[in-house]
Amino acid sequence: MKSKAMKLKQTIFTINRVVEKLRNKCVLPARGAGKTTPSIVFFNSFILLLFFGSFSGFMFLSPTGVKWKDKLYDRFPQVKLKMNPNFGGNLTQDAVLNSAKEASNAWSSGKTKARLFLSFVGQTSSSPVGLDTNLCTNPNRETTKNLDNIIYAQSSEDPDCTGVACSFVWYCNGTVGEEEIVHFDIQVNTRDYSFETGIAAPEAYNLKTVLLKQLGYVIGFFTCPPGNMSCPVTGNGITPDENSALYKFLKPEVHKTSISSDDALGVRTLYGELTNEELEKSNVVQGFALEVDSLCNPYPCQVPNEETDSRYAIRPQEIAALQVHENRMQAAGMNTVPARLNKFQWIQKDYLTALIQNPLSAEDYLKENLDNSRIYISETPKELLLPSVLDLCVTIHNRKRAMEEHKYELDAQYLEFLEVEMKTLIILRRRMLDEISTRI
How many CB atoms within 10 Å of residue 236? 14
Amino acid at 299: Y
Please check whether residue 13 is in contact with residue 159, taking contact to mean a CB–CB distance below 8 angstroms: yes
Q: How far lies 358's CA from each of 72, 256, 278, 362, 414, in Å?
A: 15, 34, 10, 9, 16
User: SS3 for the chain, per residue?
Assistant: CCECHHHHHHHHHHHHHHHHHHHHHCCCCCCCCCCECCCCECCCCHHHHHHCCEECCEEECCCCCCCCCCCCCCCCCEEEEEECCCCCCCCCHHHHHHHHHHHHHHCCHHHHCECCEEEEEEECCCCCCCCCCCCCCCCHHHHHHCCCEEEEEECCCCCCCCCCEEEEEEEECCCCCCCEEEEEEEEEECCCCEEECCCCCCCEEEHHHHHHHHHHHHCCEECCCCCCCCCCCCCCCCCCCCCCCCCCECCCCCCCCCCCHHHHHHHHHHHCECCHHHHHHHHHHHHHHHHHHHCCCCCCCCCHHHCCCCCCCCCHHHHHHHHHHHHHHHHCCCCCHHHHHHHHHHHHHHHHHHHHHCCCCHHHHHHHHHHCHHHHHHHCCHHHHHHHHHHHHHHHHHHHHHHHHCCCCCCHHHHHHHHHHHHHHHHHHHHHHHHHHHCC
- Residue length, the chain? 440
Q: How far lies 339's CA from each of 25, 80, 334, 342, in Å?
A: 59, 22, 5, 5
Torsion, Cα 297 298 301 304, to 10 degrees, reads -120
Domain ranges (residues) in the chain:
5-273, 277-438
The pLDDT of residue 20: 36
The pLDDT of residue 229: 54
Please check whether residue 367 is in contact with residue 283, taking contact to mean a CB–CB distance below 8 angstroms: no
**333: which residues sit within 8 A by CB, 6+ positions away?**
339
Edge-to-edge strand order for the sheet containing 117-123?
117-123, 78-83, 149-154, 180-189, 165-172
Q: Residue 380's closest CA among 417, 326, 435, 337?
A: 435
Local confidence pLDDT in tens for the 440 residues of the chain: 333 332 232 223 333 333 333 233 222 222 222 222 222 343 322 222 333 334 444 555 555 568 888 755 556 888 889 999 998 878 899 999 999 989 998 998 888 999 888 888 888 888 787 776 677 777 788 888 888 899 999 999 988 888 899 888 888 876 555 678 889 999 999 999 999 998 767 789 999 999 999 999 899 887 665 555 555 544 444 567 788 898 878 888 789 989 998 899 889 988 888 888 888 888 888 889 899 999 999 999 999 999 999 999 999 999 999 999 999 999 999 999 999 999 998 998 888 878 777 778 888 889 999 999 999 999 999 899 999 999 999 999 999 999 999 887 888 788 889 999 999 999 999 999 999 999 86
Please check whether residue 296 is in contact with residue 423, taking contact to mean a CB–CB distance below 8 angstroms: yes
The pLDDT of residue 172: 80
Residue 325 CA to residue 159 CA, distance in Å, equals 55
Backbone angles phi, psi at 128, to 5 degrees: -60, 150
Beta bridge partners of 58: 55
Per CATH, the number for 5-273 is 3.40.390.10
The pLDDT of residue 61: 58
Q: Residue 219's closest CA among 45, 103, 72, 349?
A: 103
Residue 4 CA to residue 15 CA, distance in Å, equals 15
The pLDDT of residue 9: 28
Residue 225 CA to residue 69 CA, distance in Å, equals 27
The pLDDT of residue 60: 58
The pLDDT of residue 428: 96
Does this model's pTM top 0.75? My answer is no
Please check whether residue 172 is in contact with residue 135, taking contact to mean a CB–CB distance below 8 angstroms: yes
